[in-house]
A and B are shown apart, each in its own frame.
Chain A
Amino acid sequence: MKNGSLKQILLLTDGCSNKGEDPSATAALAYQQGITVNVIGILEDDQTESPDGLQEVEDIALSGGGVSQIVYSESLSQTVQMVTKQAMNQTLQGFVNKELRQILGSDQGIEDMDPEKRGEIMEVVEDLGETSDLEVLVLVDTSASMHNKLPTVKEALIDLSISLNSRIGRNKFCIYSFPGKRKDIQKVFDWSPKLDTISTVFPKLTSGGITPTGPAIREAMYQFGKKSLLRSFRHEDESGMEETGY
């Protein structure tokens, strides 16, 4: 566990995709490569029940091995943190469960143990969650309808960074928005240990109703790859670079 860090994509959206490949499929692809995809669907304040389009939110998270939640924008901060932490625990628990099955036999997971043993194992999972490194790529839907939610999104992300940086483990965040001007996604904020430095507001909103969620997830997935490639080139600087996490 010491070597790897947990990788997550956090998708914030308010509607369903309408361009390009199926987002559930690209989420499954990301999950296969060790990246968890979490999705938060944001409702309008006057919406009383979730529209059909938000069923997609659940489907993406399900195939992306992550957590999904649908919220009103005012409770976004807490939800973003809950989802991120829950997804971390879920991933770690998955690892631990796999190890346990290897040691104890195929039908002995955490659920099949008595509460005392389960408690001891959960302590290990919690320890891992506190100390492991985390990389979160935030993918924000900036289609027209998201316009008035973006300030709240920004606040929620800063809040997320406060929470995660209170952990012992190191963090890296970056923010991308989609759709981009010419590409599927556009970089808003490069990989950094903290988010409280985001002063740049999200780029000019793209008008028109295109929401290419699928292609955006695929692009986002490549951003993790790029970074590790870069890191392997600059292996010498690595320790210096990582210290900034504190």
Chain B
Amino acid sequence: MKMNRVWKKQGIDLRPGAQIKGKWHHNNYTIQRKLGAGAIGTVYLCDYGGRPAALKISDKGTSMTVEVNVLKSLEKVQGSRLGPSLLDVDDWVSPTGDMYSFYVMEYLQGETMVGFIRKHGKDWIGVFMLQLLEDLEKLHQTGWIFGDLKTENLLVVSSPPTVRWVDVGGTTKLGRAIKEYTEFYDRGYWGLGSRRAEPSYDLFAFVMVFLTIYYPNRFEKEHEAAEKLLYKKIDRVNDLTPYRSVLKKALTSGYASSAEMKQDLIHVLNAAKKRETYHKQKPKHSWKLLFMESGGIGILALMYYLFSLLF
């Protein structure tokens, strides 16, 4: 079969300065440097009309098409940006005549979650947990499961610090078999559930993401029961103490939805806040301020309106 020939072809290696011209849409991209390589394709930073963009190119046309389909369906989720936005999809015929598929995405610049938390402290853990759960809830609502949720697929972009998903290749329709996974984050590997795409699958991986921050070299299955081992790993991390009960419940598929887990987490976070001995004095004049602000805006708007009537 024809695919076999493609399968055997050597991986692609593009030099900085290489020009990629689309076969169908005729856009031109200049390769700047390699950003990373995975099982399916290589991602390059490229220049498109003076703007930076991320270009993923591969000889596995089929898998690329599937990824593009996922990115497109994520864009349909209104009011939020779950994956990187898709800019172009095309084919490229190399000078040697081989055909490659590529797609171009928004280039997200940021740092890894592990690096960020190490630099800025554990206060951000709760924030990122809530952000992630909120995004997961939105994704699950549209009938998709993230699948390959892991630290490598997450990036913290700045101002304000927000977790973004960089690689959505594992995203699978609800109720199907998970398309792509990494053993450490996979509940099937730990013997703690199936690989059917359901919210609890992502929530298991979610817990493992936060464990990875404290076990950067990960750890392996041991002879003792996986559940016990993972519980122990959670207990050993001081920073995760407030979230223990929530994380443990998620490990055993105890949450049917991200919203449910988020609720528990908010509860825990608030309880932790109360327990803290010092309180920062909150300014109490916020009502007054709000009044003045909205009043001011109203007057300004009125002035603009009247002004526009004059012309």
Does B196 sit at the interface, judged by CB under 8 A? Answer: yes
Q: Are A122 and B176 in contact (CB under 8 A)?
A: no
In the complex, chain A residues whose CB is within 8 Å of the CB of B8: 58
In the complex, chain B residues whose CB is within 8 Å of the CB of A110: 61-62
A78 and B183 contact, Cβ closer than 8 Å, known pairs A90-B1, A159-B189, A166-B194: yes
- Count of interface residues, chain A, beta-carbon cutoff 8 Å: 32
Q: Are B177 and A115 in contact (CB under 8 A)?
A: no
Option from A114, A123, A165 in Cβ contact (under 8 Å) with B24: A114
Option from A77, A89, A163, A168 in Cβ contact (under 8 Å) with B62: A89
CA distance A89 to B7 in the complex (A): 13
In the complex, chain B residues whose CB is within 8 Å of the CB of A164: 177
Closest to B5 in A: A62
Option from A61, A116, A168 in Cβ contact (under 8 Å) with B175: A168
A210 to chain B, nearest CB (A): 29
Does A198 sit at the interface, judged by CB under 8 A? Answer: no
A90 and B72 contact, Cβ closer than 8 Å, known pairs A122-B66, A163-B195: no
CA distance A94 to B1 in the complex (A): 8
In the complex, chain B residues whose CB is within 8 Å of the CB of A165: 194
Proximity bits, A194-208, B CB within 8 Å = 1, else 0: 000000000000000
Does A130 sit at the interface, judged by CB under 8 A? Answer: yes
Does A93 sit at the interface, judged by CB under 8 A? Answer: yes
In the complex, chain B residues whose CB is within 8 Å of the CB of A94: 1
In the complex, chain B residues whose CB is within 8 Å of the CB of A114: 24
Which A103-129 residues have C-beta < 8 A from chain B? 110-111, 114-116, 118-119, 122-123, 125-126
Closest to A89 in B: B62
Q: Are A67 and B7 in contact (CB under 8 A)?
A: yes
Does A101 sit at the interface, judged by CB under 8 A? Answer: no
In the complex, chain B residues whose CB is within 8 Å of the CB of A89: 62
Residue of B1, B72, B101 with highest tally of chain A CB at under 10 A: B1
CA distance A164 to B195 in the complex (A): 9
Which A170-200 residues have C-beta < 8 A from chain B? none
Does B14 sit at the interface, judged by CB under 8 A? Answer: no
Residue of B68, B101, B176 with highest tally of chain A CB at under 10 A: B176
CA distance A183 to B254 in the complex (A): 50
A166 and B196 contact, Cβ closer than 8 Å, known pairs A61-B4, A90-B1, A118-B65: yes
In the complex, chain A residues whose CB is within 8 Å of the CB of B196: 166
Proximity bits, A37-61, B CB within 8 Å = 1, else 0: 0000000000000000000001001
In the complex, chain B residues whose CB is within 8 Å of the CB of A82: 39
In the complex, chain A residues whose CB is within 8 Å of the CB of B259: none
Proximity bits, A71-106, B CB within 8 Å = 1, else 0: 000000110001000000110011000000000000
A115 and B90 contact, Cβ closer than 8 Å, known pairs A65-B1, A162-B195, A163-B195: yes
Q: Are B72 and A119 in contact (CB under 8 A)?
A: yes
CA distance A122 to B177 in the complex (A): 17
Option from B24, B195, B197 in Cβ contact (under 8 Å) with A115: B24
In the complex, chain B residues whose CB is within 8 Å of the CB of A168: 175-176
Does A167 sit at the interface, judged by CB under 8 A? Answer: yes
CA distance A130 to B66 in the complex (A): 13
Does B240 sit at the interface, judged by CB under 8 A? Answer: no
B43 to chain A, nearest CB (A): 18
Q: What are 24 pairs between A and B in contact, CB < 8 Å?
A: A65-B1, A67-B7, A89-B62, A90-B3, A110-B61, A114-B24, A115-B89, A116-B89, A118-B61, A122-B62, A159-B188, A159-B189, A162-B194, A162-B195, A163-B178, A164-B177, A166-B176, A166-B177, A166-B178, A166-B188, A166-B194, A166-B196, A166-B197, A168-B175
Residues of B near any A CB (own CB < 8 A): 1, 3-4, 7-8, 24, 39, 61-62, 65-66, 68-69, 72, 89-91, 99, 101, 175-178, 183, 188-189, 194-197
A119-B72, A165-B194, A168-B175 given; 8 more Cβ-contact pairs under 8 Å: A65-B1, A89-B62, A90-B1, A114-B24, A115-B89, A122-B66, A162-B194, A163-B177
